[in-house]
A and B are shown apart, each in its own frame.
Chain A
Amino acid sequence: MSDASSTSEDDIPDHLVAHFTSRIGHNSADLIEGETGSWEIVIGMEVHAQVISESKLFSGASTEFGGAPNSHVSLVDAAMPGMLPVLNIAAVRQAVRTGLGLEAQINLRSVFDRKNYFYPDLPQGYQISQFSDPIVGEGRVTVDLADGESFEVGIVRIHLEQDAGKSIHDRHPTRTYIDLNRSGVALMEIVSKPDIRSGEEAAAYLAKLRSILRYLGTCDGNMQEGSMRADVNVSVRRPGEDLGTRCEIKNVNSLRSVREAVDYEARRQIEILEEGGEIDQETRLFDADRGETRSMRSKEEAHDYRYFPDPDLLPVEIDQAFVDEIKASLPELPDAKAQRFAADFGLNAYDAGVLVAERETSEFYEAVVDPDGAKRDPKIAANWLTGDFFRRLNADDLEIADSPVSAAQLGGLLDLIADGTISGKIAKDVFDEMFDTGKDAGDIVEAKGLKQISDSGEISAIVDQIIADNPDQADEYRGGNAKVAGWFTGQVMKATQGKANPQLVNELLKRKLGG
């Protein structure tokens, strides 16, 4: 393989060569200033996503995470001589479903190949994968950034392959322990074009991909358990020039690590180039504790994989009706849902993006705003959900499905604010109590006497009393110090335990003090 440039790899079929970027131009904010001028980072990613299925890609053993070591293993997964792989239809269906979700071409004929290398957690001595004829071809993902901008990342291909087993290095001083429970579980490898330009964009791409896969129900996206992990290809170049030599950072398993690994690796490469050095094309490992990448020398020879069609497996042929049936069952995906939220509820792109990122959140939001046509204010609902509600979920480390406050209960609280029963400030306290006890907002307001005082006679009397008790401050106000007004409001709120209608308080203060 040529190490001069990733654009001249003669020994690999055209459609597998990584892939000219379709992204033209650059955002100057993404350029990195070096000692000798600016540099552009170019990133392509290979994301390994574990397919949601009951059984493995080629055997009837369970895919369940955990379990006693080597218990979810058939003789096929353990590569006993004479065992033959039989393809799981669910894996094929999930790969097609994922392809459709990424607007990709579905290949009705695909072929499984053997990728040959030796590693203790790969009992066959080869991984069954797809090389020249993957099940899914070119597609695309639209990625949203925090500033409301978005960009497109081209998908080169998705292929199906077997996961390896797990090596455990810390159970024994001189031995590595091997558990094959994960061996043979179906993975989708989703290969992007080099259309990504910063660590931030790389993390945003991975987050968007995760969101789409979770909507589709094809991967649970659990990065901690390793259901989703990324190989990140990083190179740098002068803006507008040909692609530089890339390094591949293996098995990055969190959004934060992706961002940090890219930033570190780009700085490392720029430093080498600016000192007149050359980049070695190599595989590197990201050390999340130290925030740096380092060379994996042991993998260098492994690049000669000697792919050939697996003689144990025939070509996979599916028909268009099979694809159409899957297409008809696709859910509304995040982009379409965000557009609908913006159009129907008047939300800005950022809020809509936050609310649709997780399917469960979007469904919860819709249940708050629009239960059986009883429409609530969509912006106030969005603010509550992304504000206090998310804050409590995070603080208590809960998923939205486990929330002690249901969508109907949160709606009930919003109704009490809307009709003036309680103030927005009191509502925050009520919400916290709802979260702690699971009670309805109305019951808490009733039991604790938190109803807002909107009786102007009652507030008027309190205002009069406070003015009479504090003649100095009253004089200051009349003398033109408007800041004292806030102090008076505070005193009235204190006297009413925060229950006075704040608008009414301000009106009365103005009238009585302004004379």
Chain B
Amino acid sequence: MALDTDTVRRIARLARIHVDDGELAPLADELNNILGWIEQLDEVDTEGVAPMTSVVEMVQRLRADEVNDGDLQEDVLANAPDPADGFFTVPKVVE
């Protein structure tokens, strides 16, 4: 598998990361190197081995249905650049 510059441009756009055109080719090389290392894992015989979802052997713990959090409006908004009347605000999003 090898990424071309168009794919890299698309991935960057989906991740909302700005990449100048001149940086696309070197970035593709870097990503291809990483993918190459990962592809080495294909050499391991995993026949009959269940996919690993976590490094710890346990299942999901469940929480009781209790309201014990919230009422933190000030904390929640503390880092927001332009809060107003208890809301976050962003440049207008129009459909």
Contacts and interface: CB of A to CB of B under 8 A. Distances in A.
Partners in one complex: yes
The 3 residue pairs across chains A and B that have the minimum distance between CB atoms: A90-B65, A60-B69, A61-B70
B95 A178 contact: no
A17 interface: no
Contacts of B95: 285, 296, 298
Contact of B93 (A69, A167, A301): A167
B66 A60 contact: yes
Interface residues of chain A: helix, strand, loop or mixed (majority): loop
B71 A71 contact: yes
Interface stretch (B20-28, B29-37, B75-83): B75-83
Contact of A176 (B14, B53, B59, B93): B93
A72 interface: yes
Interface string A161-192: 00000011101111111111000000000000
Interface string B36-78: 0000000000000000011010111111111111111101110
A380 interface: no
Interface residues of chain B: helix, strand, loop or mixed (majority): loop
Interface string A88-130: 1111100000000000000000010000101110000000000
Contacts of A86: 61-63
A3 B54 CA distance: 37
20 contacts: A54-B65, A61-B69, A68-B86, A70-B86, A71-B71, A71-B86, A72-B71, A73-B70, A73-B72, A76-B69, A86-B63, A87-B63, A169-B92, A169-B94, A176-B91, A178-B90, A180-B88, A314-B54, A314-B59, A315-B60
A72 B92 CA distance: 24
A89 B53 contact: no
Interface of A: 53-55, 59-62, 68-76, 78, 86-92, 111, 116, 118-120, 167-169, 171-180, 285, 296, 298, 301, 304, 306, 309, 311, 313-317
Contacts of A71: 70-71, 73, 86
A69 B87 contact: yes
B22 to A, nearest CB: 24
A91 B65 CA distance: 8
Nearest to A60: B69
Q: Which of B53, B63, B70, B73 has the largest count of A CB atoms less than 10 A from its CB?
A: B70
Contacts of A72: 70-71
Contacts of B93: 119-120, 167, 169, 176
B86 A55 contact: no
Q: Which of B53, B65, B75, B86 has the largest count of A CB atoms less than 10 A from its CB?
A: B65
Contacts of A315: 53, 59-60
Nearest to A109: B59
A55 B60 contact: no
A178 B14 contact: no
Contacts of A78: 76
